[in-house]
Every structure is written in structure tokens, then in C-alpha cells.
Structure 1
Amino acid sequence: MHAIGTFEIAHDFFRTTNGPVRPADDPDQPRYDARANETAKPPKHVIPAVSALLASLVLPLSLMFGATTANATEPQGQVAGWPQNQGMAVTQKSESKAPATVVITESTPVVTASSGYHIKLSITNHTGESLPAGKLQVSTNQHYNFASRTDLQDWAEGDTAIPTTNKLGEADVPAIGPDSKVEASVDTPADNPTLASILSWGPKPVLVTYLAGQDGADHEPISAIRTFMTRSGDGIPTADTPPMDITIAMPLTTSTWNVDPDTVTKYLTSGDDESKSTDTAHDTSANGANGKPNAQGTAPGATSASKTGQNPGGTTHETDQTDLERLALTPTAAQSANGTNGDGQSDAAKTTLKPTDRLPKSVEQLIAKHTKLQVVIDPAYAMRLKIPPQSSGIMQPGAFDITSYSALGDDAAYRSAGITPGLWNEAGAQDQWRNALGEAKQGAAAYAWQGDTKWTVAALAAARSQGYGTVIAQGTVDEGNTDTTQTAKYLIPTPSGDVTLLAAQSVLTELAQGHSTAKSAEGETSDAGRLARFMAQTAFYQMERPYTARNILVCLGTSAGTASGAQDADALMHAVEQAPWLRQSDLKTLNASQTAEHLTDERAQRLLPSSGALSSQNRGRLQRDLTRLSASRNDIARFENSILSKPTENGPKGATGAKTDGHGMGHPRSSNTANDSGDAQSLARQDARDTAKRSKNGASWIHEILMLHDAIGLNALSINSNVSDPPSGDVGAGATGALLGDRMTSSAVSVASQLVGGVSITPSEPITIVSESATMPVTIRNNHPYPVQVKVSSITDSMEIVTSRLQTVTIPAKSETQTTFTIRASTSGSTDAHLNLLDRNRSAFGSPQTTHITCAMRLSDKSGLAFIGVSLLFGVLGLWRQFHIKKDPDQ
């Protein structure tokens, strides 16, 4: 047993000097060329011979003392110390929580011959006691070359023993108070012996250790983390090999959608669909039809709302953007008190959320600076931007979550909520993109972007049925093979047709989206730590097959389109641009260069999961939002069908017209039938001009409200639905922190509530009656620009004091109408009359009102007369008896 342990020590000596020994049959190992390992290696037959010799020499000693261990590392759960003159020792992952944590805040992602190495760290004391002054030490192994992807991951998680004996530098750490934090940095110049003696390019292990005591000697480390340093081939005399192509795609959408309640209220009370706010209307004299500059600087003649048409799959699409939708539903941005963009505002209390028609400043700079960044934009978002950015493609409108839609498997619920395929299909996306550019014939490559769940065959079929021929998967899509890394491109058959699937590299995508590769990878808890791992990983992938042409797809997260996320994306793009082993490519080249593997149905079923893995929490939230959206949309439809006055001219009646809005409901988009005979009180209100130019067709008014509701609902069901707005750190004042799905659903419900609540009963004063019958006046208010016809119901709590039950009343536009109920009382007392508004189908709506009734009966009524009559009768009888009674002699 001790002999075996001794042999392992000898074997590890050669492993750490010349890199790990690669089994001949391990397909996951890299295939090195001369440049991958510059350290002289002994012949293969020398290693076992020397190992056997060492074992024979050490075996007697080990048997004598019985103290030789079978492993060169200390027991799991302990952090090894080391003599100061021997450099860093091998450390193991600690399972117990350290009293302090070390987080990387800055590091040099690519080390060149002249760059040196810089690392900055934040040290936090989690204990209730002060930590004494200590020392921060950073070391590496200049000769070590990672042998496999597993080797890289094991080092990141602390599951492998790699001696880091070459010191890069150290820094003093002051005493840290309870629950306090300090920062320290180590700067290693380019001429440092450790850096200068690195003779092989690629990722190197880096160990950062925080020790107590200023000298760091004879003390157990308080905390240690593992990270990576990637040395480029600059200054190293090795043969150059072709760089590996990498395509970095960024979804450009937003979670900052907001509905302006003032704009909605103004529209619901005025119906002025021609109103344009001066601060949002763009000068179209030299721009496109939507106010967007086109290539020639002149308007191409496109309209602001495209016509309904057919996509290749035969599904209608609806891309009309009404004025109400344009003005009420807008992205918001942090703006300072003087109205300027709030990017980088240090005083968060002075920033508020305001509508914006531009990208965050940091996002604009990111796209302008890195021209190779592949921007895939949400066309609905692009239509809200004054100048849409340069883009490599478009995604589904509203960033609709197709994968969650398929995973839920309830198309009827989506349609009931107003979310039909016509809102998010590819043809509609192209129309919205043309409107955003102001170019009537401009097209773009369309990619269906993955949502919160995985792509399945059913999800791919749903995307294909709506015209999307190419989809992007953000995670691993493979059959468990261990070939060298490359972008997986599959041609997958679905019931709706073949779909091309581009699968991003999973590890790099996870890191690029701000996720660590494992919970135990403590060095990846910060952006700087993840970037160091990202660069190390790409270098290793290039070393796997340095002469093989490959193009790796990496997908950024939606947070890259925010002010804070753009900074991280900028750092990543800058590091990639500085890496000589990488060459940036684009989606078009990627799609053309990669040969798609045509799968059979059987292989497609094996390749893709059978379900989208929709979590129970997300399923519940999705069902809840759909139920609320369906109820609010039904309220709007009910208002038109059963509350809005019927048309006064012959023609299609209300919602029974054959012309629909393409949303799956029977609401007319337009009709010549007018249901507004005029507003007699407009002169008195001094708004006759607005009334005159207002459409006489209430159906068109309702149509715009429905379009706004459905656009809000589409954003509630987007791939950003679980993102809080504004993202952390973007703004201060005005931040709600609510999830986009919850906010948008509540906004849609609010629109329907304002519409229905615009017809209300005016609260009345208590009523006192002094007779058997009386009347109770009730006033109904209509705040809308079109007349309504409703029923008013009254029910009392008493059997002795009752009212008439129903009254039908028509209320003109923006007016009040009074109706009366008859009160009948058979005795004195009091009760409450409960008043409710009913639609023409006698279903209650709006807020009920209560009127208190008090009855004080007087003698002048019939019962009083009866009492008087009886009294007179008894009086007459008393007088008659007085005169006819027989008297005694003494009377």
C-alpha cells in the first residue's frame, strides 16, 4: 500500500512537470502540437523506469516509518500552509464556510509579453470579530498545461491538486472589522521571473490565498480561491496556428416596458386618436414613414401601420401600431432631474423612470465600438427607437417566449388572452422591422430566440409554423459525444417543416451570461473571475485541434442590453478582440460555413428533450398571467358588446361584423356604422372642436384599446417576463423591482378596469321619507367619448322598505344622466339600497354604491287617519254615554 502511494508521488512529479498524462483512448483530451508544451519531456520509456527506481528506493523507508501517505495533498476540507521560501502548496476545496471570502473584481484576461498581470480582489469579513492584518498571495504553475475540459473544471471547483509553486506577487491586507470589506491588488510586471519564464501559451492555474499575519508564515490560510490566467503566444517562440472562429450574438430586447396611465386615461376620456405629443412625435420631413432615418434620408412612402397579410404558413399577422399603443406603451430609462439620460448617474435618488426612444448610452457605445458583435433585435423594440442600431438579424416580436408557449401546451389560453400567432410570427416581425427602418422593402435574417425553457420538437414545430426557419439554442444540444468543441448545427424535421438549429457552446454561454460553471467554482462569483475563465476556456478549445476550422457560437444574455450589463459585455468583447487565438465571425458566415446534420425523426427525439422543463413556479405564474389577461380582454369585449350603445345606423351591429382584427376575437377593425349621434354638451364643455374631429365609430375606439391590451400582454409573456425592471443598479428612484410579466399583466388589467370603471354611479346622499311612497334619484356618469346604455339595479335589505328593481338608461358621451327609483314603505325604519350597474345581458360591472333610506311615518297618511277615526269614534261614544247614563239622586 505504501509502495503504491510512493509510486503515485513519483508519477505526480512527472505529471505536474510535463502536464497530465493523457490516456490513449480518452477522446476528451487535447491533441497538442509542439507549441502546446515547451518543457522538454523525457522519452516515454524513461518515466516508468525512473518511477520504478524511486519506488524501490523509497519503499524500505516507507515500510520502516509507516508514514508515507498515498496522496501529496492534505486531507479534504483543510487548507494547506507552506514555508515562505517554498512558494504555494497544493490546496483542496474547503467544505466549511471560511470566515472571509475573496472575490475577484479585476484581472488581466489576456497576458502578453508586455502586459504583465494585474488582479484586484475584495475581501469580506463575515464574522462578528475583527480579522487581524494579513497578506494576500497570488501564485501559479508556469509549466502546467491543462489536459482536458474536465481538468479545467476540476481546478475551478477545487477538485484537483495542482501545485502552484511560482509566486506572482503578494499584497498586505489591513485589519478587517466585523462584517466589513477591504480591497487589495497585486500587480506583476512583465519582467517578473514567473511571467518571463512561461514558455507555453494557454491557460494557467492561479491560486489566490488570504493569510493572517503580515508575514504570512506559519499561519493557516483564512480563504483561498482558484482562477485562471491565459498567456497569449505573444513573445513566445512557437509556431502560429490558425485562430478559432467565434461568433458572439447578443439579443437586444428590453424589460423596461411601461404603460403610461395618463396617456391611457386621456384616450379613454377623449377618444382623440389623432393626438400626438410634441415630445414624442418625430419630424418626418427627411426621415422614413415612422420618423426613422432611412438610407437615403427620404421617406420611402411606407405607412405607419402595415396591412394584414399571410405568412408562408398561412397564418395572419397583425402589425398595426396605433397611436395609443405608440404613446402609451414605451420603454423607460433612468433620467436625471434635468431630463438627460441617467446612465452612470452616481446619485440614484435624483433619477426617475421616463419614456425613451433611444438605447441606454452604454449599449449604444457597446454596439458602435464592437462592430463584430452580432445584434439580434426585437423588432417591436426597434419600432420604439428613434434610430435602430445596426443589427445582424431580428427575433420574434416582443421577444415572445416560444419555448414556454410550447411547454405549457395551451394554445386556447393564449388566444383567449389575445396572444395569437399573428402577433409574433416571422412575417409580422419583418413588417415591424421595415416600419422601424422606414424602408418598405428592407428585410432581415430572422432567428427564433430561445426562451426560459428548452427547445423541443413541439417548440421547433411551433416556430416553423410561424415562418422561422432558423432557431438559436443557448445551451448544449448533443447526444453525449465528447468530440472537440464546435457549433452544433442540425436540420431537424418537424410536422411543420425542417428547422435549422444553431446550438451555442454551453460553457462559454453560461459564463458570458453571468453564471458560474458550478456553485463550488468560487473564482467565478464575479464578472472578472468569469471573464478569466472564459478566456482560459477559449484558449483550451483552440488547443484541442489547432488546425481544424471551427466556429463557436456564444450567446450573451438579455441583460447585455441594459446599462449595467453592457459594461460586462464590453469587457468580454474587448478581451476577445485582444486574443490572438480567436477570430470573430458573424451569424451569416456561421450559418453558411457550418454543415447542417440532417437528423431523422428518431435522432431528433433523442437529441431534444421530450418536454421543455417548465418549472412548476413558472408554470403557475404563466397560467396566472394568462387567466388575468383573458379576463381583462373579455371585459373590453363585453364593454363593446353589452355596454357601448348600439350603432344608430343600419349596418353591422357592434362586434358581429365580419371584419375582425386578426386577434381571434370578433371585434371590427373599422366600420361605417356610427354609434355616436353627437355630444349635445360639447359646446357647454367648450370641447366641440375635439368632439367634431373624433371618430363617430366606437368600434374603432375599442379596437385601439384592444391593440394596446394585446401589445401589453405580448410583453408580459416575453423571454424577459421573469426579469425585474429596472435591472439591479440601473436606476434608483422610480424603480419598482417587479417582474416584467407581473407588471405588464397588471397594466393590461388596469386598462380594462379604467375602461369599465369609466361608467359609474355617482354616490348619493342618504334619503329620508315620511310617507308610504317616494322617489330615489340615481345619477350615472359616463366619462367616455361614446354613449353607453346600461341597466341600474336596486335592492334593499328590508322587506318593509323596498325600491323598484331595474332602470334602463342611456348616457351620452362624457355626460351624466339621472334616473329615479320608486320607494315604498309600510312602516317606519331604515335600510340600505344597494345599487349596481348591469350590462345589457344583466351582468354586474363597476363599483356598487349604497344609499341609506330612513322612513319616518306621519299621521297624514292612511294609518294616521285610521287612528284619528278611531279616536273620534271613542270620543262620540263617550259623550253619548255621558248624556244618557242614569244618575243617582245625589248627582
Structure 2
Amino acid sequence: MALRQEEEQAGKRVNLPGVLRHCTRLAHALAAGVAVVAMLAAPLTVYANDTTDTTDSSDTTDATGNQTENQPKQSIAITQSTPIVTSKSGYRVTAVISNTDSTATSSGTLHLTTNALFTFVSRTDIQNWAENNAPIPTPNELGSVDVPSIPAGGTATVTIEVNANQQTLASIGSWGPKPLMLSYIVGNQILADLPSFLTRSSDGLNTATTPAMNLTVAMPYTASGWQVDNKAISNRIAETTTSSTSTSSKSNSTDKADKSDNADASNAAKATDTQAISLSEQDADTARSLGQTFAKHRSLQVIADPLYWRQSAVQPSIAGIMQPADFDITAYTALDDTAAYEKAGITTEQWNAKQAAAWYADGGDSETPSAYAWQGNNCWTLDALTAAREQGYDTVIADASFDADQTEAVHTGTYVVHTPAGDVTVLKEQSTLGTLAKGQATSTDAQAESSDAGRLARLIAQSAFYQMEQPYTSRYLLMTFSRTTEASWIDQVMSAFEQASWLNLTDLKTMAKADPYNVSDSVNPDKADDANTANTRSALRQLADSRHDIMRMATSILRNEIDSDEVSSLDPQALARQDANDTASHSNDPTQWIGSLLVLHDDMALRSMSGSPQPTATRKAMVKAAKTLASDLLNGVRINPSESVSVFSESAKMPITVSNDLPYAVSVQVNSLTDSMQIVTSRTADIDIPSHSDAQVTFTIRVSTSGSSTAHVSLTDREGNSFGNTQDTAITSVMRISDASGFIIIGFAVLLGIIGLWRQFHRKKDPDE
């Protein structure tokens, strides 16, 4: 304590350079023992302005010692650093220094320091250091570099190279994470600092070797977005062309290594040109990049969406398959409305494990990998696990929300849950590793983690810390990438992990077979996302409406009406591959045609219910495309515009022409209603229209006076429900004498006039008149 008081008094007279930034906090240094000696032996520099370093707070201090603003005007970001230091690697860091001040900075220096003797002893210490909130001194300088003057609003990029033989780096005698500090100093003042981590491997160190910690790294290989070709939808409705062969029939190499050359990619793109649902060009490029990365890192467990896998230009080797179209099982059970999904065209047969295997085999691979259910936007509940098990998924992937209880040390992420449908193995992701792997900072205060390089440094340090927590305890941890993680980030992480001697990269099967951390028949309560649930319900309602319109065409508009049971009996696999398309084109039976349209609709509906963060562009695009499909189908029967009608008698005829652009005959009702009581038309007329033809129906107009009105002509199905367009026809009535009754009326009027005149001339006058 006396030593600390002496230093506090000295702090009033001196300030420390960047290499001794935290020397005023000696309480922790005393606990570190010999670190204090090294710290006290370091030279002190007296600041000309008698100020102290205050960069550990959000305030900054100007040259006269006055507080300026709460937010710093300069900041540091790491763009590249050596993830793991070995005996020969040395250390290299590249940083960008930003100046958001309204004035330029003077030239300065970026210092890189560490504490070669420090060892993190708790997860709190390592997190506090990441947040720049831990009193850990960094007295050992690794290097420095001159920083030129930075203009207002400008940046400067600098690199510090540390040779493997550099004294501080070579003096690190124990492996594991070390605190690392970057300090930007101009004149006598630290304008910005950034805490990060340096992780030393055991390579070249004379230390005891401990068992490696088991780590499984997995990633879902699924689409971030699907696109719909409206022209292909129109062709499917009109049957004007035969759809191209599905990607399921693409030639596949017997070697399932990555097919990433440009020729294969080009051929695959051509094969899907006329498909209604396909991957965007961006998704195809993403698949190629991911495929090349997967080929480099075979220990990465790729879990493929079979629909995406078979349609992508690159089909990498995978460790397992997931539910088709990344169907969100957790949202399905959170909504708890199976009927809503079925009305929208989504049944369990579309996304169960059996169907996933069928889609995968349809892609050309005869060997079916294990099936895993990947978590969606809601938590895994007992109901969700039960549904997954009922559909053939006995192993599921869960994020850290599955078991939120914090333990003193990390543990195996394998759980077994007893459900009414059978046992389910849950592989739970380790929270901190998963957060970093998905490109997120562990907290908003962990400034170094705002960049990939900073997150990677923390990720490597954190994994080493976990192994050091319990070096002789066998544990299996899981870390997953997100659905949209970029190939470059995956490559960086996996390359670093593959160099980490303290990690043993295992597969999902091995982790699933590990002794479970917990076996029970209960899980955390549901924490359903109300916004996501409302969005899902809205999408299902719209999909149900569009599917209902297609079924209306089948049962109430087509002349050869189809029973819904007939459609249900069709093989959706064959229809999806368009095997039946030629037959449908040459037959008067529209069953297969309607079936193919329903399969197309239901494929879009399934893709709209993916587990990607909601609401997604894919959901909006699929729902809109489904509505377009139904709308275009119904609008294939339309009323043609007609000319106005002039009526010169009590009655007339109004012809209406109806066109049928569909490949099958229809039978509908045409209705007419005027907005006048004096000018009316007959109400309804039935009409049959052959395929690709026109037909005409005639309405009778009756008038009782001159004037004008409008006939509103519309279509209804045989059940009386309206559909399609409406057509307004103007009617003008000009009454003329056109028969004997008119002449009789005129004669009677003339007679009355003559009688009136006779009375006028022959009446007797009054005497006083």
C-alpha cells in the first residue's frame, strides 16, 4: 500500500509514456508479483504539461489539461494481426488510426506493448480487458512506428513488424493469451488506445503438454436468398415451352470434391436459366467462394440444405444435411398452427428428414449423410424438439439460448432430451465463440472486436483460455458460423484453428457420441419472438389465399374440373422435375398441369419459411411470387374491352367477348349489372371457352327512357365467386318510334288536341264575358 501511495503521489508530478499506460493502477500489478518489478524498472518520462493519462475513460484531455468532449476524437482499429505466435512466426499488426476531430493531428507514434508475465485467470478478466476496463499493466514494449500527421476526418494506416527474436516476444515463457495494448501518442499525450490479445502457442516452449480441447466447427450451407423468374412462371401457366431439366438431373462427378471450375459453373447456370425458382447470380458466386474454402478446410462440418446443395454450381463434400429450404421448425412449433401451414401449402412431408435425403439423392449422390435439424429464429423447446424427432431428426444444432445457465468453466455442449417422440441429442454452441464466429463483438465496449482481425485475435485467445481453464478435463465444444458468413472470414478462422495446438477439431458425429453434459426431459421455456411470429402468420395467410386461388381454378373454373383428392394423389417429386409436363401438354386432362402449379407454389411457400433472420428478402420475394402465380393464372381468363352501345328502342343486344389464354378449356359465368333502374341488362350468362380461344356471350338491354348508364361486366366461377378483371361498357338510350303502338299513341294525342280545339271554339260564353 505504501508503494501504491508513493506512485499516486508521483502521478501528480509525472505521466507515463504509452508503454506504461496502466502503471497508476498497481493493485493488480502487486498481485502479478514480478510484473511490478519490471514495471518499476521501466523509465519514466516527465510530461511537460503535468497531465495524467485519462484514456481509460470516455473523456479526452487537451494539451492544457482541460476536458474537451465525452467521445474521443481519435480511434484505432486493427485490420490485420498474427493470430497465433510461434517460436518462428514473429508478430505483425496493421492498424488504421482515424481522426474525427475538426483539426489535423501532429505526427505521433503508435506503441505496441504487452505483459509477457501475465496470465488471465478468469473469464471476467479477459472480458474486462477486451472492454478496456481491467487494471492490467502492459510494461513490455514489442515495437512502435511513426504515425504521420492525420488531417481532419482522415486516417492513417501503419504496420508494426516484430521479429521472432525481439526481446519481449522471445521472453514470453508460457503459452496462452496475453494482454496487448496499442497506444497512439502525439507529443506527451495518449490520444487513443486499444486493448487486444496476443496468443502464444506452446511451440518452442519448455512447458508441459496438456491434452487438446475438442472443438467442432459447423456451418449451414443454405441460400441467403432465392429468386423467381416471372417469365418462367408465365411459361409454366401457358405451357408454351417445356421447362428445362431440373438441376437434380445435372451431371455430377463421381468424385464429390468441389466442382469450382468456371466451365462447370457456367453449365450449371445455363441448366437453371428457365427454372422458376433459382439462385441469384450473387448466391451462385457465394457458393463458388464457399466451395473453395470448404475444400481447404476439411475439418469444417458443412451441413447442407439439400435444395440449395443440388441447385448450386458447387457441391462440396458435406458432413450432413439439414431440413429442406432451411425450414424453421422452431417457428413452426412456436406458432402452433399446423392447419395454417397446410393451407399455405407446407406439409411435414416437405421438410422431414426422409424428404431431405430424397432431395439430396436426387442431386446425384447415392450416399446419404446424417440429418441434423438446424435452429431457426426461436428457441428449441420441448415441442420443437418433439416435432424434429417426429420428422426424423434425432440430432439438432442449438445456439447458446438452449441452456443459458452460466457455469464456472465451459463444459461439453452435448445434451440428451427425452421427448414424447424419442430421445433427441442437442449440440449446443458455446456462446462467446459463437458470437465472435458470427462476426459480432462480445459487447459494444469491446472496441477491438469491431474488425475481423480484432475478433479473430479475441477468438483465438478465448479458445486458448478455455483449454487452460481445465486442461485435463475432456470437453467437446461447438462453434457455428452464420448462414451468411463470408468465405474469407471462414478461411481466416479455420486457418488459425488448424494451427492451434491446444485444439482438436472434431466432427459432429464424435461430439454427438460424447458423454452428455445433461440428460433430462425438460428444456428452457419458450421465448418466442412475437414480431417474427406475427410476420410468419401474415405470410402464411397470404400463401393460403394464393393457393386457394389455384385450387379455385382446378375445381370451379376449368371445364374438366379436378377433385382436390386427384391433385393430392400426384407425385410431387415427379411434378417438381417436370417429368409430367409433356404428357400434360398433349392431354385434355389438366390434373398434372394444376399439380405442377401447386408444387411450384408450395416450393415457394417452403422457401419463404426459412430459419434466416426474419423478415427476409427471400420471404417477401417468395410470397409475392406465389401471389403473382395465382393472379396470372386467374387473369388467364379475361373479358375483352367492348365498344359503347347505343339503344334506339326498348331493347337491344350487348355482345361480350371473353378470352382464355390458358392451355385448357374453362367454363365460367359472365355477369352484368348497370347503375340505372331505367336501363338494365340481363344478369348472368354461362359460357364455355376452349383453350387459347375466344367466346362471345350476348346480354339483352332493356330501356324505359332516354338516358345513359354503364354496364359493369365481371366473371365468376361456378360457385359464384368473382375473379379476374371487370369491364365497363357505356350504354346510351335514344327512344324512337319503331312499332304500331307508337302510332296509336300519337293518333290518340292528335285526337285529344282536336277535341280541345273544338271545345274552345264551340263553348257558350258567360253573359258578363
Q: What's the TM-score bracket when you normalise by the shorter of the two chains? A: 0.7 to 0.9
Distance 1:375 1:844, change over 3 A: same
Identity %: 40
User: What is the correspondence of 1:271-286 to structure 2 with a 5 Å cutoff?
Assistant: 275-277=242-244
Superposition RMSD on alpha carbons, in Å?
A: 3.6
* Displacement after TM superposition at 1:147 (Å): 0.9
- Report the Cα offset of residue 691 of structure 1: 9.7
Aligned to 1:226: 195
**Separation in 1 of the partners of 2:623 and 2:147?**
50
Alignment of 1:395 onto 2:322: yes
CA distance in 1, matches of 2:567, 2:597: 19
Partner-residue secondary structure (3-state), 1:786: coil
Tell me which moved more, 323-332 or 511-520: 323-332
How far 1:189 sits from its partner (Å)? Answer: 2.8
Q: Helix, strand or coil for the counterpart of 1:810?
A: strand
Separation in 1, partners of 2:709, 2:134: 82
Structure-1 residue corresponding to 2:547: 633
Question: Unaligned 5+ residue runs, structure 2?
Answer: 8-23, 39-51, 258-270, 765-769
User: Could you tell me which residue of structure 2 aligns to residue 242 of structure 1?
Assistant: 211
**Cα 1:81/1:585, change in 2 over 3 Å:** farther
- Is 1:566 the counterpart of 2:482? The answer is no
> What's the counterpart of residue 528 of structure 1?
453
| 2:646 equivalent to 1:768 | yes
2:387 counterpart letter in structure 1: A
SS at 1:774 equivalent = strand
Distance, in Å, in 2 between the alignment partners of 1:406 and 1:655 is: 27
1:115 is matched with 89
TM (normalized to structure 1)?
0.74
Partner AA of 1:621 in structure 2: N
2:344 to 409, 417, 422: 417
Alignment of 1:818 with 2:696, yes or no, is yes
**How far 1:828 moved relative to its partner?**
1.8
Q: Are 2:18 and 1:97 equivalent residues in the alignment?
A: no
Shift of 1:885: 10
Q: CA deviation at 1:72?
A: 11
Contact 2:99 2:153 in 1 (8 A): yes
Asked if 2 retains the 8 angstrom alpha-carbon contact of 1:269 and 1:814, the reply is: no
Code of the residue aligned with 1:485 in structure 2: it is: V
Matched, 1:329 2:287: no
2 CA distance for matches of 1:707 and 1:494?
32
Match for 1:12: what amino acid? Answer: H
Hey, what does 1:509 align to over in structure 2? 434
- Alignment match, 2:519: 599
Q: Distance in 2 between matches of 1:141 and 1:448?
A: 45
- Counterpart AA for 2:357: Q
Conserved? CA contact 2:560–2:590, under 8 Å = no
Report the AA paired with residue 581 of structure 1: W
Post-superposition offset of 1:259: 1.4
Question: Which position in structure 1 is the counterpart of 2:722?
Answer: 844
The one-letter amino acid paired with 1:660 is: S
CA contact (8 A) 2:140 2:168 kept: yes
Match of 2:535 in 1: 621
Shift of 1:197: 2.1
The answer to whether the aligner puts 1:14 opposite 2:30 as a matched pair is yes
Quote the offset at 1:421 in angstroms: 0.8
CA contact 1:721–1:741 (8 Å) conserved in 2? no
The Cα of 1:639 is off from its aligned counterpart by 1.5
Measure the CA separation in 2 of the matches of 1:188 and 1:625: 56
Aligned length: 714
On the 8 A contact 2:345/2:605 being kept in 1, the answer is yes
- Which deviations, in whole Å up to 9, do the C-alpha atoms of 1:264-284 show, x marking residues without a partner? 101101276xx243xx667xx
TM-score w.r.t. the length of structure 2 is: 0.85
Contact 2:448 2:455 in 1 (8 A): yes
Residue type of the partner of 1:535?
A: I
Counterpart among 284, 290, 296 of residue 363 in structure 1:
290
Q: Which deviates further from its counterpart, 133-142 or 106-115?
A: 133-142
Counting only pairs closer than 5 Å after superposition, residues 684-699 of structure 1 correspond to structure 2 as 693-699=585-591
Alignment partner for residue 257 of structure 1, among 226, 238, 249? Answer: 226
Task: Name the CA shift for 1:102/1:658 in 2 (closer, same or farther; >3 Å).
Answer: closer
Which one of 217, 223, 226 corresponds to residue 187 of structure 2? 217
Instruction: Show the 5 A alignment for 1:635-674.
Output: 635-646=549-560, 654-657=563-566, 660=569
Aligned twin of 2:499: 578
Among 160, 181, 195, the residue aligned to 2:169: 195
Supply the AA of the counterpart residue of 2:162.
T
Q: Which residue of 2 aligns with 1:801?
A: 679
Q: Partner of 2:468: helix, strand, or coil? A: helix
Check conservation: 2:567, 2:592, Cα contact below 8 A.
no
Distance 1:167 1:19 in 2: 13
Q: Label 1:103 to 1:869 Cα distance change in 2 as closer, same or farther (>3 A).
A: farther
**1:106 corresponds to which of 64, 80, 90:** 80
Between the aligned partners of 2:156 and 2:532, the Cα distance in structure 1 is: 39
Matched residues in 1 for 2:69 and 2:175: separation? Answer: 33
Deviations 1:814-843 (A, max 9, x none): 111111111112122222211221111101
What corresponds to 1:553 in structure 2? 478
Aligned counterpart, 1:498: 423
Residue 112 of structure 1: how far off its partner (Å): 1.9
Cα–Cα, structure 1 residues 817 and 597, in superposed 2: closer, same or farther, change >3 Å? same
Kept after mapping to 2: 8 A contact 1:720/1:740: no
| Residue equivalent to 1:720 | 612
Offset of residue 864 of structure 1: 6.2
Q: What is the CA distance between 1:657 and its match in structure 2?
A: 4.3
Moved more, 858-867 or 390-399: 858-867
Q: Deviations over 1:446-505 (max 9, x none)?
A: 111111121111110110111111111122544735243233212111111111111121
Instruction: Indicate conservation of the 8 Å contact 1:487/1:502, yes or no.
Output: no
Q: CA deviation at 1:882?
A: 11
Does the aligned pair in 1 maintain the 2:113–2:182 contact within 8 Å?
Answer: yes
**Are 2:706 and 2:733, in contact at CA under 8 Å, matched by a contact in 1?**
yes
Displacement, 1:401?
0.7
Q: Distance in 1 between matches of 2:447 and 2:731?
A: 72
CA distance in 1, matches of 2:143, 2:667: 82
Distance 1:147 1:840, change over 3 A: same
Residue 571 of structure 1 deviates from its aligned partner by: 0.9
Candidates 585, 600, 625, aligned match of 1:747: 625
C-alpha spacing 1:125/1:690, structure 2 compared with 1 (3 Å): same
Tell me the distance in 2 between the aligned counterparts of 1:425 and 1:710.
15
Query: How far apart, CA to CA, are the structure 2 residues paired with 1:401 and 1:870?
Result: 85
Note if contact 1:722-1:740 (Cα within 8 Å) is conserved in structure 2. no
Task: Please give the residue correspondences for 1:158-197 in structure 2 after superposition, counting only pairs within 5 Å.
Answer: 158-197=132-171
1:868 and 1:787 map into 2 onto residues whose CA distance is 53
In structure 2, what is the Cα distance between the partners aligned to 1:827 and 1:543?
100
Partner of 1:268: 237
Q: Contact 1:102–1:225 (CA<8 Å) still a contact in 2?
A: yes
User: Counterparts of 1:228 and 1:862 in 2: how far apart (Å)?
Assistant: 109
Compare 621-630 and 402-411 and name the one that shifted more: 402-411
Matched residue of 2:377: which SS? coil
2:110 is aligned with 1:136:
yes
Output the CA distance in 2 between the equivalents of 1:576 and 1:744.
38
Whether the 8 Å contact between 2:29 and 2:35 is mirrored in structure 1 is: no
Deviates more, 1:637-646 or 1:134-143: 134-143
Report if the CA contact (8 A) 2:278-2:311 is conserved: yes
Provide the C-alpha distance between the structure 1 equivalents of 2:256 and 2:81, rounded to a whole number of angstroms: 46
| 8 Å contact from structure 2 (residues 29, 137) kept in 1 | no
SS state of the match for residue 293, structure 2? helix
Match for 2:252: what amino acid? K
3-state SS of the aligned residue for 1:327?
coil
For 2:537 and 2:125, the matched residues in 1 are separated by: 43
Alignment-mate amino acid for residue 600 of structure 1: S
Amino acid at match of 1:571: Q
Instruction: Say if 1:394 and 1:445, in contact at 8 Å, map to a contact too.
Output: yes
2:735 matches 1:857: yes
1:324/1:704 contact within 8 Å kept: no
Deviation at 1:884, TM superposition (A): 8.6
